[in-house]
Structure formats: structure tokens, C-alpha cells
Amino acid sequence: MTDSPTERVAIVTGAARGIGAAIAKRLAADGMAVGVIDLAEDATAATVEAIRAAGGRALGIGADVTDGEQVQRAVQAVADGLGAPTVLVNNAGILRDNLIFKMTDEDWDRVVAVHLRGAFLMTREVQRYQVEAKWGRVVSLSSTSALGNRGQANYAAVKAGLQGFTKTIAIELGRYNITANAIAPGFIATDMLRQTAERMKVSFEQFLEGAAREIPVGRVGQPEDIANAASFFCSEASSFVSGQVLYVAGGPKA
């Protein structure tokens, strides 16, 4: 359970599956009520049901995080259904990988919109509840790809951008007892990486095995590894940690 005297309300975007679902369930286990947001409300059902089955409170909401009106409605729905949200995890993301000479305008624009515009719109909407409460946590999902990765000019750019966004939010909102941090996952076994394996024309199992050989700890990451880091950043214990980027990659990345 959280060490807060009152129940916190969290919002996790892109929480229907993978890393987002693991974070939502972990925050619920920590004692938070969780607004589970994904593009389609139906897709959030499994995450919501898992939280409720474990005795937690959760609400599933369908929203496109790139649409300002939908973001406003989603955050209001969480506030009405669970209480004022003071924890936000910006996890929603997509891949549109390609080499730069093959990358289309839409490939670029959509990735920028979901990752960067989505984080901006969600944070702007939630921060007003955080400022009023004089307490808040913002966690955004970056990536080791922020350091550069072949075929991911769009993804690398937005993940690096989220680090700058995080540091700026930490400066602007710190006076209100609001912290902002980013998590940069390395190779995490999720359905999103299945797309990468398919693009490389290898089986997912071969893809995982090859990646594990290159990781110092000898295994690929799991969504729960990222959820563990998010749990700390969203807790009372992290109150003097802000504007930081934590690489969760099984070894150093620089």
C-alpha cells in the first residue's frame, strides 16, 4: 500500500497491454485508484478487470491522446469517477520504423503526435489537479532509442524530446511539490517488439534470444521491470528525485 495518508488517483496512458498495463496494475497494488486510458475503451477491459479482481479501483476510458478535446474528457471522467488525478504516467506510444529515405510524412507526424503531443496534452490537463493538491507525480516513458537507433529517426527523436520535456516540467512544477521523471526502457519483451521482429523477418523467440546475448544481465526485460521503476517515481519516497532519466536496460547505455 502507498505510504500516503489518502488514496492517490493515477492515470496511465497506453495501458491496455504491455508496459502500460503492468504499470497500471503495479500502481493499483501500491494502493492507487487507476484511470486506464487507451485508444479504444474495450481494449482496457483486461487491465481494469485485473485491478478490480485484486481489490483495487479502476476505470477504463477510450481516448486519443493527440486530441485535446478527448484528453479533456478523459481526465474529467477520471476525476468524476475516481477522484482528482495527481499521478500521471505518459506511456502511450506507437512505432512507425523505417530508414530515413523510406520514412513518410505520416510515419513521422503520427509518432511525434502520439508521443510528444500526447504527453504535452495529458500533462497540461492533469497538472491543474496536481497544482491544486500541491502534490503530484509525472512519469514519461522514454527509451534507450533516444540515444539513436537505426530505422527509428522518428521514435528516437520523440524519446529524446520526452527527456527534455520531463526536465522542463520538473523545473516549472517543482514549486508545487510536483516531480517529473522519465524511464528509458531497453529491450522489453512486449507485443510492440513483435512488430520489430516481423520487420526484421525473424521469429520473436529468435529476436529475444539474440537480444539477451547482448544484455549484460543476460536476459531481456519484462514489463514488470519498468513497472517497478514507475512505482518508485510515483511514490512518496521519490519526493527529492525530479528531472531525472532512469535507463532500465539490464546494463549501461551511453
| Cross-strand partners of 98 | 152
The pLDDT score that the predictor gives to residue 3 is 42
Give which of 146, 221, 206, 168 is closest to 229, Cα–Cα: 221
Q: Which amino acid is at 176?
A: Y
CA separation for the pair 72, 53 (Å, rounded): 28
Q: What proportions of the chain, in percent to the nearest 5, are helix, strand and coil? A: 50, 15, 30
The pLDDT score that the predictor gives to residue 247 is 97
24 and 34 Cβ atoms separated by less than 8 Å: yes
Q: Which residues contact 93 (CB under 8 A, 6 or more apart)?
A: 14, 114, 115, 141, 192
The pLDDT score that the predictor gives to residue 253 is 63
pLDDT in tens, 67-111: 999 999 999 999 999 999 999 999 999 999 999 999 999 999 999
Domains of the chain, CATH where assigned: 9-186+221-248 (3.40.50.720)
pLDDT in tens, 124-149: 999 999 999 999 999 999 999 999 99
Sheet strands (E) in 14-156: 33-38, 58-62, 87-90, 136-141
The pLDDT score that the predictor gives to residue 178 is 98
Average pLDDT of the chain to the nearest whole number = 95
CA separation for the pair 11, 119 (Å, rounded): 12
219 and 199 Cβ atoms separated by less than 8 Å: no
pTM, two decimals, is: 0.94
The pLDDT score that the predictor gives to residue 2 is 39
Burial code of 228-243, b = ≥16 C-beta within 10 A, e = fewer?
A: ebbbebbbeebeeebb
Active site residue 155: yes
Give which of 26, 75, 78, 221 is closest to 143, Cα–Cα: 221
Q: Are strands 33-38 and 136-141 parallel, antiparallel or unpaired?
A: unpaired
The segments of the chain whose pLDDT lies below 50 read 1-4, 254
Catalytic residue, from 129, 155, 176, 247: name it: 155
Burial code of 87-120, b = ≥16 C-beta within 10 A, e = fewer?
A: bbbbbbbbbbbbeeeebeeebbeebbbbbbbbbb
Burial grade of 212 (CB within 10 A; 0-12, 13-18, 19 or more): middle
